[in-house]
Chains A and B, each alone.
Chain A
Amino acid sequence: MTTYRWALPDLGEGMHEAEIVRWLVQEGDVVAPDQPLLEVQTDKALTEIPSPVAGRVLHLYGVPGQVVPVGTVLIEIDTAMTNSPSAIPRPLAAPAVRRRARELGVDLADVRGTGRGGRITMRDVEEAARQAATGQTAIGQAATGQTVGMSVAPSAAVEAGMGTVRQGQPPGAKAVAGSMSSEADVERVPLAGLRRVIAGRMVASKFTAPHVTGMDEADVTELVALREKLDPWAREQGIKLTYLPFVIRAVVSGLRRFPYLNASMDAEHGEILLKKRYHIGIAVDTPDGLMVPVIRDADQKSLLDLAQEVQRLSEAARSRTIALEDVQGSTFTISNVGSFGGTFATPIINPPEVAILAMGRIARRPMFGPNDEVVPRWLMALSLTFDHRVLDGGYTARFMRHVVERLEHPERLMLEL
């Protein structure tokens, strides 16, 4: 059997890692030269990798969603069944490393390089020597620095980490298979791409900041009338005027008065950072998951500017054409749960911020008028989650009142323009 090992090359200019997006072949498949094997996402582009050789796929290393450094072996193909012109390349190593290998009696052909472009490092050689001494053969990846020593039992590699996990079998999968439910009843979807990022951030937020959520309602009857009056003028300019720009303005007004909500926590130095600029994050639901584009310097923008910016950023987020700088640096986030019909919510803080406001659906409700008569009014549900390390309930309640007053009397916003 002749085994061809394909290692992730530098696909860009100076790229050092890529994320496995999906496998396009399975172990056991027979592949032709230039047949697509997998898709990887680099920091530049989504790229399809065609097979360099013909043969049978022996092993797929790594799972979708995994970020692997350049030089990591991702696939092994048995080329014995065909006569492919490609040969396994001579191992790459610096002269000093070669000398050390000779001293230690290590054959470089047996060592998997973890350096740039699959280059064998000093550490690889020493690790190989150490493992040879303990009777193991180093064939696992060690891209992140920890060499996976894989002896005869494949389960050892499964336990050891992601590096040598077979496709569709996350670590420990074998142990539970069969005991709870049959594999056929469950579809395993890898935690990949944006989903993985969201998962990491939400866990970090929820388990770092003690979350408290306060709720309030604003009578937005006047705002509803005002928006209706302004809408045709906005439309003339091709802009859809929603309630979000008004809420942004009311929030920015509140943040100016209550600066500890426009802040972040530097736990390491025991300091609270008060932000002097108002970059408002807008939670947007996209097919790939939640994204939070950022309206920069929201305090400097008119309602019309804000509406236009919201429109542009949401579209860019949904089509995933959004620029990196448009999703970074927010100081406070607003989530419009009302757009899905929600009222109250307990949103999770978008780190490193210290508070997040969820605006709910505007609903028509029977309310009591000045003479105890029942009158129809428009009410908006508001939920504010804050980081109790930085903020307390009294302070945030006063902020909430400030925002509510401006939503109830939108003309007050004009005084502050």
Chain B
Amino acid sequence: MEIYRWPGEPTLHQILREDGTLAREEPPGVQDQAQAWYRFMVFCRRFDQKALNLQRQGRLGTYAPFSGQEAAQIGSFAALRRDDWVFPSYRELAGMMYHGLDPAHALLFSRGHPAAGYMPKELAMFPGQIIIGAQLLHATGAAWACKLRGEDRVAAAFFGDGATSQGDFHEALNFASVFQLPVVFFCQNNQYAISVPVTRQMATPTVAQKAIAYQIEGIRVDGNDIFAVYDAMRYAVEHARSGGGPVLIEAVTYRLGPHTTSDDPTRYRDPEVHDAWARAKDPLLRLRRWLERQGLWDEDQERAWTAEVDTRLAEATERMEQTPMPDPASVFDHVYAQMPPALRRQKQELTDLRGRV
């Protein structure tokens, strides 16, 4: 009788070390993009803080911050083509903005504004999914459609470690593997599903090894190393696009902030572990150190850029706040492509009622 066992120690693909030196040669294209990536990471970090402030001021509703996960998000989105299908979770605003979403539009999500659900037409990107893990199935379906139509587009699903406990995760991986679909499953293991640590989420030491059970490829990458994330995602996307089937990527990262603005992480996090992630492993610091070594960034540029970012954020906030509030009757508009008579009557009733007061 042969007993199957997970054989070895988990590995972690890393290119950029914490001190900003290279562990191995950087992937092609990185030299040209690194500075732009860094600028965008700074923009996102400040966007995240701004959104938290807006929520505290009562100008935004519940918000799910992503600080600490900028490298995982920007590095992975950077490897996608504009016409690839993108199925993000609600904690993907850094990646989504990098992909082309207007920051003012991104803020509208947390206003509960229905306009936030419309994605720009030029992007094949879905709104941030709130249902944990549901988007993996959507991505699998989109990838299947691409395959049936003979298109060379891939689909990418973004989710967290908590989603891997959902049935949807396993259904999506199984289906995609059986049908050899061009889909990349990108998991940001940020260590906590709200307050549940990853060690209570699963008995396996890694998310990536779950690929083995589905006979697909799995990669475990340092999620705070933007070079390694880009490298892994580029490989996975090419693999999927060229008919090699799905890939599961686990980006090991850390959520620096609370789960949402309604959460107090100091109740469940070890302060020492937190400090280590916040200082030594910060994805922005790491890339900045490398850029400085290359002579591509300095303190003056940092100052000028943060000032520029703050201006852009103030402008985005203003546009967000000036977006007119929706007509309550519009709630009936998006249930069916063509409104059935019963809904039309209800809409009219509401409009009449509001007109009377």
Contact = CB atoms under 8 A, between A and B. Distances in A.
B258 interface: yes
Interface stretch (B57-65, B70-78, B290-298): B57-65
Nearest to A96: B357
B interface, size bucket? 20 to 34
A52 B57 contact: yes
B261 interface: yes
B318 interface: yes
A229 interface: no
Interface in A2-34: 6-13, 33-34
Interface residues of A, number: 26
B56 A45 contact: no
Nearest to A321: B267
- Give the top 3 A-B pairs by smallest Cβ distance, nearest first: A9-B58, A95-B357, A45-B264
B314 A85 contact: yes
A44 B263 contact: yes
9 contacts: A6-B57, A11-B55, A45-B263, A45-B264, A45-B266, A52-B54, A52-B58, A95-B356, A98-B357
Contacts, number: 52
A46 B264 contact: yes
B356 to A, nearest CB: 8
A50 interface: yes
A51 to B, nearest CB: 8
A47 interface: yes
A49 B57 contact: yes
Contacts of A10: 58
B53 A11 contact: no
A86 interface: yes
A49 B56 contact: yes
Nearest to B260: A13
A12 B261 CA distance: 7
A388 B53 CA distance: 54
A99 interface: yes
A10 B354 CA distance: 26
A41 to B, nearest CB: 10
Contact of A34 (B53, B263, B267, B318): B53
Contacts of B55: 11
Nearest to A86: B321
Chain A, interface SS category: loop
Interface of A: 6-13, 33-34, 44-52, 85-86, 95-96, 98-99, 321
A33 B50 CA distance: 10
A99 B357 contact: yes
B56 A50 contact: yes
Interface of B: 50, 53-59, 62, 258, 261-264, 266-267, 314, 317-318, 321, 354, 356-357
A45 B207 CA distance: 31
Contacts of B357: 95-96, 98-99
A260 to B, nearest CB: 38
A96 B318 CA distance: 32
A47 B50 CA distance: 15
B90 to A, nearest CB: 14
Contact of B262 (A44, A50, A98, A321): A44
Given A49-B57, A52-B54, 14 more contacts: A7-B58, A8-B58, A9-B56, A9-B57, A9-B58, A10-B58, A11-B261, A33-B314, A44-B264, A45-B258, A50-B53, A52-B59, A85-B314, A85-B317
A157 B97 CA distance: 49
Nearest to B59: A52
B258 to A, nearest CB: 7
Contacts of A13: 62, 262
Contacts of A51: 57
Contacts of B314: 33, 85
Most chain B CB inside 10 Å of its own CB: which residue of A52, A99, A321: A52
Contacts of A321: 267
Contacts of B317: 85
A75 to B, nearest CB: 11
Contacts of A47: 56
Contacts of B266: 45
A99 B356 CA distance: 10
A44 B263 CA distance: 6
B177 to A, nearest CB: 38
Contacts of B62: 13
